Structure 1
Amino acid sequence: MSSSLAPSSRGSRLALLVVLLCWVAVLFDGLDMFIYGSVLPHMLQEKALGITSGQAGDLGSYATFGMLVGALAAGTIADRIGRKKLMLSCVTLFSLASGLCAVAGSVAVFGLGRTLAGVGLGGLLPTAISMVSDYAPRGRAALTIGLLMTAHHAGGILSAYVALWIVEPLGWRAAFWVCVVPLLFVPVLLKWLPESLSFLVAQGRRAETSELAARYDAELPAAPAARTAGARWGNLAALFQGREWIQTLLYWLASFGGLLLVYGVATWLPTLMRSEGYELGSALTFVVLFNLGGVVGMLVAGRASDRFGAPRISALWFALTAAGVFLLSVHMPLALTFVVVFLTGVFLNSAQVMIYATVSIGSTPDSRATAVGWTSGMGRFGAVFGPWLGGQLLAANNGDWGFTAFALAGVSSMVFIGIAAARTGRRTAGGGSGQQLVGAAH
């Protein structure tokens, strides 16, 4: 690993292995998530399965509803059975569900496939974030999470090319068959992905922990305080102890607005751009630029958050996102529109991820997956609402208002996370000094 990611060489091989394997898994997650938005213009044009604009928004919300369920369940399950088992289950689920979409003969069956895929997609992200957080070099947690999430947007870029190169000659079903390919990666994860050292320590599996740490020359994490069997829900309850519920609620509300914005734009960007008069190829170029911006944004935001604090960077990024999304409703020269889409991608995607980074860094290892999972899960209500809202506005021929509504969501997230940052009341240096960053820190 580079020196920027590994201040100490100890455990760096293990960290690199975990980040690499999780990166590939999240790449497939991004492909599966963005593929629907990329092929949607073609499906609407061909009237595939008889889908209308209103139904298309509903179908987009089915996937995000599944992600809500997956995210809420994943944190608690991962803290009980382990990150590795859950990641294997999630990749298997969303791959098989994509196969169901590929063979669907009706809107109902297609919607079921997208819902089941959403459960797997929603469960994978917080689990992968928790996994890399466990192994992140000290003082580089936000940057490591940002590096991981570049994979999500690399998957979005891949989805645009799948739509461009495969859908036109072979049809929309072929794109969903491509999304079954991640099944081949499951045996690789099974063989090479280690379990979280923190989870193993928390479970009292000392021999397994020592063997894994010795194999990769990694440091053993400190054992958590003993928990009774009746305290299984203690990780969740601790989010609301004392006045911590205020901070928890603020981050949940910020996550709601952020994911409404992320998934609303991800689902409808190509279609909204086509409604503005762009050809399908140009509309998919916007998807590529948006996700390229996401890749750049993750690295920039991760580095900045490790230095200045994830809450402050997230609030600033949401403000810039709102401005960029609003500008998309204004007719501009094509070249300028490309620039705005790219910059919007830079700020939008990483603004939401820095909420996760804040919660992850500020949580203890034994409760990290629960804290991140529930923050993600509560935000998924916004992810459900965003695609539905875009569909309703487009069906009513109010596509321009879609950009305005998404911009307002960005403003609301900026406000909530700004209040949360002010309540924190001090600089947060990405967890390098072990600071408790948020109310979810227990």
Structure 2
Amino acid sequence: MYAVIALCWLVVFFDGFDVTVYGATMPYMLDDTSFGLDAAMAGSIGSWTTFGMLVGALVAGNVTDWLGRRAVLVWCVVLFSAGSGVCALAGDPTQFAAGRCLAGLGLGGLMPICLSVVAEFSPPRRMALATGVLMTAYHAGGMSATGVGLLLAPDHGWRWPFAVGVLPALVAVPLLLRYLPESPGVLYGKGRVQEAREIARRYGLPAPTAENTPAAGVAGRLRAVRSLMAPDRRFATLLLWVASFCGLLLVYGISTWLPQLMRSAGYGMTTSVSLLMVINAGGIIGMLVAGQVADRFGVVRVAASWFVLAAAGLALLATSPSLGATYAVVAFTGVWLFSASTMVYAVAGRFYPAADRAAGLGWVTGVGRLGAVVSPWLGGVLVGHGLASQGFLVFALGGLAGAVAVLLVPAVTTSWPRTPKTGPAAGGVRGDGAGAQERAEGVVPPLGPTSPGRTR
């Protein structure tokens, strides 16, 4: 299990690097008069990147069970690495935009696959923690991109940070091909039954069966997508989409506009930019905390609480607190804000059965990308109309909407998984009350029953 999570962590680290490097180098690109990029084009390129991520998430989530998790993940890494190479060599903004769109296709497909792999290979009662650990990589990569931008761009030009973005194809791809196991369910669906059972045995997973195996071929993928809108699932699926939209609305809105919103509130440039580092540092802490708390108290309750706490932090920032208090509130907000959207993925991972999990996560992350597309535009409208002071309150409302959507998921479906009560063992082996909580939340193993004494 740990090797699988480590490989996915490395890939998501490069994901966070590639997403953030554009913002870290944009000031230097705008100052490069020979390149011909202006602010309006820079904003459009950002939207095209997130649109590519949306398409990539939807496509990858629906072909990964057909073609295989490892193969599609490798191609995603190759795509966003190639996109970074195109950006580094671009002769004009149009070529640069093509590179960012290409990178977006790979970046969008990467996340749902990694989430699905971690969900499949993690112990059921540690799935939320594993998801949180995985997502710390995104923020670590983003902070690294900021550091690389500050180190290379001033003296060597903005192209060099993008050149660094080619490294994933050279580092991660060989490791994935050699060490990342294929999904037992996918192998079983392809008729490679013995290989599937061997991998399941090696990693302590339940043996795959026809009931928990994704259907192969185009017909199987269409069936998986249709199943998301089955009568007993459709409202829960729509609510998960809404929650994901709200989560990425917060993540991309605050990541893009936090410095400008703080400047509009009267803070200096250095302080405003440094707060972006503070909120990402809080995000790393939040990913670790959220997973552990969710494993103990239930991922639905924790996801909703995290949305509410993020909204509270944003509302506090709207009051323009003192400088010291601002740093504390921003760090506090980062703890909840980024991990709230991640907990939506954990809810989806537990709601959809193994045969439909990749398609479900693909659509949850894909539709959520619409929030990433809308949020930069929304922030621009607020700033452009002199309403920057209201920006934090607007985004706080998005957090409250996300909380309501998550809380309603178990209530609108009969498909929310239930753990059968079988006596003392039904509560798990821990004596901290978590077993009862898991029954209330409907926590079940992703690929079948798990014996209390099994380890991975």
> Normalised by the size of structure 1, how large is the TM-score?
0.87
Match of 2:424 in 1: none
Match of 1:6 in 2: none
Match of 2:49 in 1: 63
CA distance in 1, matches of 2:32, 2:319: 29
CA distance in 1, matches of 2:400, 2:363: 22
Determine if contact 2:196/2:208 at 8 Å carries over to the other structure. Answer: no
Residue 163 in structure 1 maps to residue 124 in structure 2: no
Determine if contact 1:35/1:175 at 8 Å carries over to the other structure. Answer: yes
CA distance in 2, matches of 1:241, 1:124: 26
Residue 389 in structure 1 maps to residue 389 in structure 2: no
CA distance in 2, matches of 1:200, 1:224: 11
Residue 311 in structure 1 maps to residue 334 in structure 2: no
Q: Aligned pair in 2 of structure 1 residues 217, 60: CA closer, same or farther (>3 Å)? A: closer
Post-superposition CA distance 1:176-235 (Å, at most 9, x none):
122121111211211111111222223221232244345x36334331338586443111
Residue 88 in structure 1 maps to residue 77 in structure 2: no
CA shift at 1:274, angstroms?
A: 4.9
Residue 411 in structure 1 maps to residue 400 in structure 2: yes
CA distance in 2, matches of 1:327, 1:43: 34
Q: How many residues align?
A: 421
- Say which of 18, 24, 28 aligns to 1:38: 24
CA shift at 1:146, angstroms?
A: 1.0
CA shift at 1:63, angstroms?
A: 1.2
- Say which of 154, 175, 185 aligns to 1:188: 175
Residue 247 in structure 1 maps to residue 247 in structure 2: no
Match of 2:105 in 1: 119
CA distance in 2, matches of 1:334, 1:164: 24
CA distance in 2, matches of 1:96, 1:278: 38
Mapping 1:233-312, distance limit 5 Å: 233-274=222-263, 281-312=270-301
Which protein shows a greater Rg? 2
Residue 205 in structure 1 maps to residue 227 in structure 2: no
Higher mean alpha-carbon deviation, 40-49 vs 331-340, is at 40-49
- Say which of 3, 13, 33 aligns to 1:27: 13
CA distance in 1, matches of 2:251, 2:40: 19
- Counterpart secondary structure, 2:409: helix
CA distance in 2, matches of 1:44, 1:272: 20
Instruction: Give aligned-pair identity as a percent.
Output: 44
Q: Aligned pair in 2 of structure 1 residues 194, 310: CA closer, same or farther (>3 Å)? A: same
**Equivalent position amino acid for 2:408 in 1:** I
Note the residue ranges of structure 2 that are not aligned, 5 or more in a row. Answer: 419-436, 448-456
Residue 400 in structure 1 maps to residue 392 in structure 2: no
Post-superposition CA distance 1:284-333 (Å, at most 9, x none):
43232222211111111111222222222111111111222233344333
Q: Aligned pair in 2 of structure 1 residues 398, 43: CA closer, same or farther (>3 Å)? A: farther
CA distance in 1, matches of 2:273, 2:145: 9
**Equivalent position amino acid for 2:187 in 1:** L
Determine if contact 1:160/1:287 at 8 Å carries over to the other structure. Answer: no
CA shift at 1:336, angstroms?
A: 1.8
**Equivalent position amino acid for 1:18 in 2:** V
**Equivalent position amino acid for 1:57 in 2:** G
Question: Cα RMSD over matched residues?
Answer: 2.6
Q: Aligned pair in 2 of structure 1 residues 217, 377: CA closer, same or farther (>3 Å)? A: closer
Residue 151 in structure 1 maps to residue 140 in structure 2: no
CA distance in 2, matches of 1:274, 1:41: 16
> Normalised by the size of structure 2, how large is the TM-score?
0.85
CA distance in 1, matches of 2:200, 2:412: 38
Determine if contact 2:16/2:140 at 8 Å carries over to the other structure. Answer: yes
Higher mean alpha-carbon deviation, 296-305 vs 326-335, is at 326-335
Determine if contact 1:39/1:167 at 8 Å carries over to the other structure. Answer: yes
Higher mean alpha-carbon deviation, 189-198 vs 261-270, is at 261-270
